[in-house]
Chain A
Amino acid sequence: MIETITKELIAARNNDGGWGTFAERPTNAEATAFAVMGLAAGERSRPADERGLSKLLSMQRSNGAWPMLEATPDSPPATALALIALSGFAGTEVAIERGVAWLASQRGDRGGRGRRFVQYWLPEVLPVEAKLGLPGWPWVEGTWSWVEPTAYAVLALKRATRAGHGFAETTQRIEEGESLLRDRMCYGGGWNYGNKKVLGRELPPYPDETALALLALDDHSNDSSIIAGLHVLELLDQETGSGLTSSLTTICLSGYGKDSSRAKQRIRSSHSHTAFLGDNKVRGLALLALGDHRRWMELGV
């Protein structure tokens, strides 16, 4: 399976050395980051994919940020993913330090004073239940913080800090991101894109977002939210069983020292059934899940 997915991923590479989310699509930092990690994790003896790595490095802008696509604006999640990928390779320290500084400086909209005033006095008036004033990370600069970009940013900053690339503000930003993730947890455990209750109705968790939030909150493994989240994740992955979900579930469960064999089996079933719809990000993630992913996803559990 690892060999098949590796061949598919290499065949789908763009001429510039990177990967689009699908073959013949413009190079995308997210897909390239996962492809680079997957190729290196999938086969233990395999050296870094130099073309992919160098493409990823070349996408970094002078301010330290990465865009999702070369022509599009600076992107917090693209930057976080690039930093996570680069953290597994030697000789990337300068790029990481510049990227960390940019990422740490980014904050999602925390809600203006008016909204915060209303939340303090009449929280039931607000249609979306979320604690205002918590600065996580947005998909797009100047907008609201969401679970996925915040989880990637916390993961990236934690890895950088553990490798000695952090600074005073990094620690504070990690704590802020973790607070936001805890606040956005769904009732009953798990996470979705970032809304737990809208207009008084609870919204359900998604497995992929749950796995990402759990990975980001790795050093709080005894928290009740983590225990509930892991339980929810296992249930959701059984119901969903896609390449994306089962790959993230595998990485998450094995990081927390839990049995991930069933999730791994679902990755294989998914590939046989749909070939992951040709999604290069999922191919990279699957290789990461099936291979040795500790270099990027070793948790502080």
Chain B
Amino acid sequence: MKRRDFLKSTLAAALLPAASCTRTDTERPRVRWSGPSYRKPDHSRVAVLQADHYGEQLEKRVLEGLTVCKVSVAGKNVVLKPNLVEFDPHGVINTHPMLIAATVSAMRTLGARTVTVAEGPGHRRDNEYLLTASGLWDVLRDFDVPYVDLNNDRLVRTTLDTSFTDFGSLYLPRTVLEADLFVSMPKMKTHHWTGVTLAMKNLFGIIPGSVYGWPKNPLHYAGLPESILDINAALRGDRFAIVDGIIAMEGNGPIQGTAKHCGVLVFGDDLTAVDATTARLMRIDPSRVGYLHEADAFLGNIRRARIDQIGEDPAGLAKDFALLERFAQLKAGAV
């Protein structure tokens, strides 16, 4: 290795956080939670179901996932939060509209009082374009589902019980805080700053751009893993996750990665456990993902022994996801 290359790689490792205006997942946050923020269940239940494509059987699979997880839906105001950060006609950035449609139907079948779709895109301000181009507009119209732009919702300044960041409080949208059941519906993707982006990271979309901007840059300054932890700890109501892993994304996610057929849906009411299971499906060791490792202390479970795996056997469905070189250490079995 030439001296200049050596210097470059050393500096890259040392200065990457500062250089990118963001801290990376290689810096593990300090423990900054206390009793009131503890909500880790003794055991969590996560269901992995096979779904080969976005076809007509999807609603049946979603119903099955909700049923085996024994989620209580009847009479509830349900808010679905898909991942709709950007649109690329050749990419697989967003939660597929057919999965959102199937979930709306399934929730109604199970007796939900209302179902709302809500998102606060982080890059593009043009909701009309994102909704129409992605196909979500057709779903909203055909299923008569209200859509709430979380970037411009009514806000509640919420004091944080955790202090992974220095925010102290966050402005959070009422639609999310007042939901009887909030459902995070991420796309299964790798992420160039945090390694993976799944149900917990998907909650960045509830942070209002009207206060934090586009992109939501204060979260980058506060540290992405730290922000993920504070935001997730701030939500106190009932939550659930449905991960779109039918066509996932690997490599340089969350925008410019490559499509990867994985053929799975992941369900569960412990978002940490859902993310840990999904990471394993990507052959990523969840204990090496800084924020999941930290969340395991107080928010949810990542250890296999604490996750009751129902549905299909995740081990048989796992696929090798390409990661950027700097996240190679997240791979299960990596030295």
Contacts and interface: CB of A to CB of B under 8 A. Distances in A.
Interface residues of B, number: 45
Contact of B212 (A26, A140, A149, A192): A140
A127 B20 contact: yes
B7 interface: yes
A274 B137 contact: yes
Contact of B128 (A26, A73, A242): A242
A192 B154 CA distance: 27
B32 interface: no
Contact of B213 (A69, A127, A139, A203): A139
Contacts of A244: 125-126, 128-129
B297 interface: no
Interface stretch (B10-18, B54-62, B233-241): B10-18
Contacts of A122: 7-8, 11
Interface in B1-55: 7-8, 11-12, 15-16, 18-21
Contacts of A28: 152, 210
A242 B8 contact: no
B221 A143 contact: yes
A148 interface: yes
A127 B252 CA distance: 12
Contacts of B152: 20-22, 25, 28
B154 A139 contact: no
Interface residues of A, number: 55
Nearest to A108: B217
A140 B128 contact: no
A273 B132 CA distance: 10
Contacts of B218: 140, 143
B126 A140 contact: no
A280 B171 CA distance: 22
A301 interface: no
A208 B121 CA distance: 15
A198 interface: yes
A299 B127 CA distance: 28
Nearest to A199: B192
A177 interface: no
Contacts of B221: 142-143
Interface string B132-165: 1100010000000001010011110100000000
A124 B8 contact: yes
A186 to B, nearest CB: 13
A126 B123 CA distance: 21
A66 interface: no
A72 B156 CA distance: 11
Interface string A132-161: 000000111011101011000000000000
Given A71-B157, A118-B11, A140-B213, A208 B19 contact: no
A139 B18 CA distance: 19
A199 B324 contact: yes
B21 A109 contact: yes
B114 interface: no
7 contacts: A22-B149, A127-B20, A128-B20, A140-B211, A146-B215, A149-B213, A277-B131
Interface of A: 20-22, 25-26, 28, 30, 68-69, 71-73, 109, 111-112, 114-115, 118-119, 122, 124-128, 138-140, 142-144, 146, 148-149, 192-193, 198-199, 201, 203, 206, 208, 240-245, 270, 273-274, 276-277, 279, 282
Given A69-B210, A242-B129, 9 more contacts: A114-B18, A122-B11, A124-B8, A125-B8, A127-B16, A143-B218, A143-B220, A199-B192, A273-B132
